[in-house]
Structure 1
Amino acid sequence: MNKQEQLITNFRDLFDKMGWLNKSKMEDILKGYKPSEVHCIESIEKNVDANVTKLAKCLYMTRGAISKLTKKLIDKGLIETYQKPDNKKEVYFRLSYQGKVIYNTHEELHKEFQERDNVIFEQVTEEQFSSILNFIEKYSQHLDAEIKKQDITIK
């Protein structure tokens, strides 16, 4: 296996381990909510004037999938829609009180997992962090260019 293959395999393994380790606690505390619902809630909270198109782009899903997902979240009372006075055409989403409870619970779990893993991050030097972050940014930009080149659009 060459270094490129090893790196990709190690990234995949790392994310799989994190998911496996965090999964049971997430499922237990956020019982009744699918990961896609929780991530949509998170995206709505973190994006000003979140609409179907904006959510589709940041969650790498189709607009149709986002429409179905947001309808479920509305039906569960986790999000609500609103429109701006100057634009009655566009529909935006915001969290309801219960949606904010789910968001805050999810954030607290992430903080707990981050604290658990601080033991390793405390050993990483600034230079190592910079190098890793630089690589990830370059790779992300490359993938963005490939997506654009292939004209992959959110439908």
Structure 2
Amino acid sequence: MNDKMSIARELIEKFYRLMNKFNDLEKRPCDFDVGETMYPSEIHTIEAIGKNSGINVTELAKALYITKGAASQMIAKLKKRGFVNKVRSMDNDKEVLLILTDKGKKAFDGHERFHNAMYVDLADYLSNIKKEQIDWVKTAFNKAEFYIDQYRA
């Protein structure tokens, strides 16, 4: 039992270290082929709009797990920089919908290429891994997500 506790502690410490490195990456700007750097929160907002063209601010906030106020601030910033446009809904004059500009689409495409390069590398690595091992990793990720959701509640 004590051995299992030390293994659990080691795994959690490795997970925390991974999360800390990920959080550090979330603070670093990157250029996604538009000639200017963008923070991950900015490009992920563009990604959410690009995948859901015509999304409104409330839906965007839910998709990104942020407040409507934070989403509105991000949209204002991205609009000022020329990545996003706001348009009125044809169905509801009060509703504002979000779409990407050509510059926003270029950033979206650059971000997709960035992720696809990661996916190719990971897929190559996974081609040598047994399905049971991959299933175990998925289960471990699900368990980690469950614990994080418990702490968020």
Q: TM-score, normalised by structure 1?
A: 0.74
1-side partners of 2:96 and 2:22: how far apart?
Answer: 38
Partner residue of 1:71 out of 67, 70, 76: 76
**Deviation at 1:66?**
1.2
Structure 2: 5+ residue stretches without partners: none
Partner residue of 2:56 out of 37, 51, 60: 51
Residue of structure 2 in register with 1:153 after alignment: none
Give the paired residue count: 145
Residue of structure 2 in register with 1:101 after alignment: 106
Q: Which amino acid aligns with 1:71?
A: A
Task: Decide whether aligned partners of structure 1 residues 12 and 94 sit closer, same or farther in structure 2, where only a CA change above 3 A counts.
Answer: farther
Q: Tell me the alpha carbon deviations over residues 57-100 of structure 1, each in whole angstroms, 9 at most, x when there is no partner.
A: 22222221111110011111111112322222221211111101
RMSD of aligned residue pairs (Cα, Å)? 3.0
2-side partners of 1:7 and 1:119: how far apart?
Answer: 25
Task: Decide whether aligned partners of structure 1 residues 9 and 120 sit closer, same or farther in structure 2, where only a CA change above 3 A counts.
Answer: farther
2-side partners of 1:17 and 1:84: how far apart?
Answer: 37
Deviates further, 122-131 or 66-75: 122-131
**Deviation at 1:36?**
1.4
1:83 aligns with 2:88: yes
1-side partners of 2:126 and 2:135: how far apart?
Answer: 13
Determine which structure has more spread, i.e. the larger CA radius of gyration: 2
Partner residue of 1:3 out of 1, 7, 29: 7
2-side partners of 1:108 and 1:77: how far apart?
Answer: 21
Task: Decide whether aligned partners of structure 1 residues 136 and 72 sit closer, same or farther in structure 2, where only a CA change above 3 A counts.
Answer: same
1-side partners of 2:131 and 2:106: how far apart?
Answer: 35
2-side partners of 1:7 and 1:29: how far apart?
Answer: 37
1-side partners of 2:72 and 2:85: how far apart?
Answer: 13
Residue of structure 2 in register with 1:42 after alignment: 47
> Sequence identity of aligned pairs in percent?
31
1:113 aligns with 2:118: yes
Structure 1: 5+ residue stretches without partners: 151-155
**Deviation at 1:19?**
6.8
Q: Which amino acid aligns with 1:110?
A: H
Q: TM-score, normalised by structure 2?
A: 0.74
